[in-house]
Amino acid sequence: MFMLHSINSALRSLSRQTHEEPCPESSASIEGESQPQGSRPSAEEAPSIIYGTAWKGEHTDRCVTQAVTAGFRAFDTAAQPAHYREDLIQTKYTPPASQDPENMPYSPDMTITEQVRASVLSSLHNLRVGTPDEAAYLDAVLLHTPFPSREHTLEAWRALEEFVPHRVPSLGVSNISYGQLEHLGQRARIKPGIVQNRLRAKTGYDKELRQLCALNGCQYQAYGVLGSNRDLIACRPVLEFAAEVGVDAAVSLFFLLQQTLGVCILAGTAQTERMGGSIGGLARVESWLRDKKNAHAWDALSGGFISELQGYM
Ligand SMILES: NC(=O)c1ccc[n+]([C@@H]2O[C@H](COP(=O)([O-])OP(=O)(O)OC[C@H]3O[C@@H](n4cnc5c(N)ncnc54)[C@H](OP(=O)(O)O)[C@@H]3O)[C@@H](O)[C@H]2O)c1
């Protein structure tokens, strides 16, 4: 799978080649009444780790090539030239307020609908692989951030829905609160299949939002895992687990979060060694966990980690 984001998008032709509001309880649903869905990746197909291409600039090409070689099979990018060089690999629709006015993939004078169309078409062009633009498609496209107005968010979403299922099978949204997701999900024809948010203690590790995602078959992708969780990466269970299995603390944290919270990790290192270390390390931990003799140690270590999450599991 080759997945790209921000409108989070992924180019299927590449996949062939490379093989904040308080919220009520978890009974809430984002499903409307028998409305059509885009095709979403099954739980088995959904990636558990994604290589992120933000801030790589002219090194995007090299980093992505190295990440593929290291074993990454899902990639995240954005039609937001200030932070992503989508044209050097692959894509998100990013609203005007988050764009550099001098360097945007559409005119800010366009309506929101027109902006979304222009942004996705530019992503399809940038991410085509040896095919005419008309044959290019993306595995998923994300709305990079909701608009301050829910009406505008819905307008952008309706424009994204036009691309489903033929050009883009799955849609997602980033930097969204529980209330915003619930509102969008109840009105969307194509339900959000991906939520990409910063995972951190300050927002209770998005506990309620993750529960809403889980209830509705929506994958939660976590960014900021290393940068926004300094305490967590240095906590005892993470360090002990790293020492037990022989991986670095970053891999230990990635794995513990995947297993305990069920989240997909976004990893954006620019260092080749760390790319290989993440993929190889996760494989090593999975193998360690399969060994029945480690079951007791895992229960103790993961239990200790859950305590560090302060009830926000
Ligand atoms: N949707 C959004 O609004 C949004 C916002 C931010 C990010 N993202 C996505 O998420 C991706 C990841 O971004 P991120 O903010 O989570 O951070 P990151 O880019 O994964 O890494 C943050 C810092 O941690 C270091 N690092 C990475 N791997 C490491 C390791 N194994 N050991 C020690 N240090 C390590 C990196 O340095 P080195 O490069 O030197 O290793 C970097 O300085 C982005 O590329 C982007 O695709 C999305």
Domain boundaries, the chain: 12-24+34-223, 234-261+270-313
Q: Is 271 in the pocket of ligand 1 (CB under 6 A)?
A: yes
Is the per-residue pLDDT at 6 higher than 80? no
Rounded average pLDDT over 53-77? 90
Q: How far is the CA of 298 from the centre of ligand 1 (A)?
A: 27
Please give the mean pLDDT across all residues of the chain. Answer: 85
Query: Which residue would you say has higher pLDDT here, 145 or 28?
Result: 145
Class of domain 12-24+34-223: alpha beta
Considering only CA atoms, which residue is closest to atom 36 of ligand 1? 269
Please state which of the ranges 22-36, 44-58, 72-86, 114-128 shows the lowest mean pLDDT.
Answer: 22-36
**What secondary structure does DSSP assign to 80-107, as a single string?**
-TTT--GGG----B--GGGSBTTB-SS-
Tell me how far apart the alpha carbons of residues 116 and 113 are, in angstroms, rounded to a whole number: 5
- Can you read off the two tokens belonging to residue 300? 């103790």
Q: How far is the CA of 268 from the centre of ligand 1 (A)?
A: 4
- 312: helix, coil or strand? coil
Q: Can you state the angle between helices 150-161 and 178-187, rounded to 10 degrees? A: 50
Contacts of 148 (CB under 8 A, 6+ apart): none
Is the per-residue pLDDT at 99 higher than 70? yes
Tell me how far apart the alpha carbons of residues 219 and 212 are, in angstroms, rounded to a whole number: 10
Rounded average pLDDT over 32-59? 70
Is the per-residue pLDDT at 28 higher than 50? no
Considering only CA atoms, which residue is closest to atom 5 of ligand 1? 223
- 64: helix, coil or strand? helix
Q: Is 110 in the pocket of ligand 1 (CB under 6 A)?
A: no
Residue type at position 177: S
pLDDT band at 61 (very low <50, low <70, confident <90, very high): confident
Is the per-residue pLDDT at 7 higher than 60? no
Is the per-residue pLDDT at 297 higher than 90? yes
Is the per-residue pLDDT at 38 higher than 60? no
Tell me how far apart the alpha carbons of residues 72 and 70 are, in angstroms, rounded to a whole number: 6
Is the per-residue pLDDT at 307 higher than 90? yes
Contact predicate 93/172, CB 8 Å: no
Q: What is the pLDDT of residues 121-174, one digit of tens each?
A: 999 988 887 889 899 888 889 999 999 999 999 999 999 999 999 999 899 999
Beta bridge partners of 142: 172
DSSP state of 127: T
Centroid of chain to Cα 216: 16
Rounded average pLDDT over 72-86? 84
The answer, yes or no, to whether the previous bond of 165 is cis (omega within 30 of 0) is: yes
Angle at 228 between CA 76 and CA 277, to 5 degrees: 60
Residue type at position 119: S
pLDDT band at 91 (very low <50, low <70, confident <90, very high): low
Q: What is the pLDDT of residues 182-235, one digit of tens each?
A: 999 999 999 999 999 999 999 999 999 999 999 999 999 999 999 999 999 999
pLDDT score, position 175: 97
Residue type at position 148: P
Please state which of the ranges 23-32, 92-101, 280-289 shows the lowest mean pLDDT.
Answer: 23-32
How many CB atoms sit inside 10 A of residue 150's CB?
A: 14
pLDDT score, position 17: 32
Q: Half-sphere exposure of residue 160, counting CA atoms within 13 Å on the CB side?
A: 35
pLDDT score, position 86: 56
- 79: helix, coil or strand? strand
Q: How far is the CA of 200 from the centre of ligand 1 (A)?
A: 14
pLDDT score, position 84: 81
Q: How far is the CA of 32 from the centre of ligand 1 (A)?
A: 35
Each residue of 162-188: b (16+ CB within 10 Å) or e? ebbeebbbbbbbbbbbbbbbbbbbebb
Residue recorded with tokens 């009105």: 187
pLDDT band at 1 (very low <50, low <70, confident <90, very high): very low
Rounded percentage of the chain residues whose pLDDT exceeds 70: 83
Contact predicate 209/23, CB 8 Å: yes
pLDDT band at 18 (very low <50, low <70, confident <90, very high): very low
- Can you read off the two tokens belonging to residue 162? 């036009």
Q: Which run of H or of E encompasses 265?
A: strand 264-267
Tell me how far apart the alpha carbons of residues 60 and 155 are, in angstroms, rounded to a whole number: 32
Rounded average pLDDT over 71-79? 90
Q: Is 59 in the pocket of ligand 1 (CB under 6 A)?
A: no
Q: How far is the CA of 60 from the centre of ligand 1 (A)?
A: 13
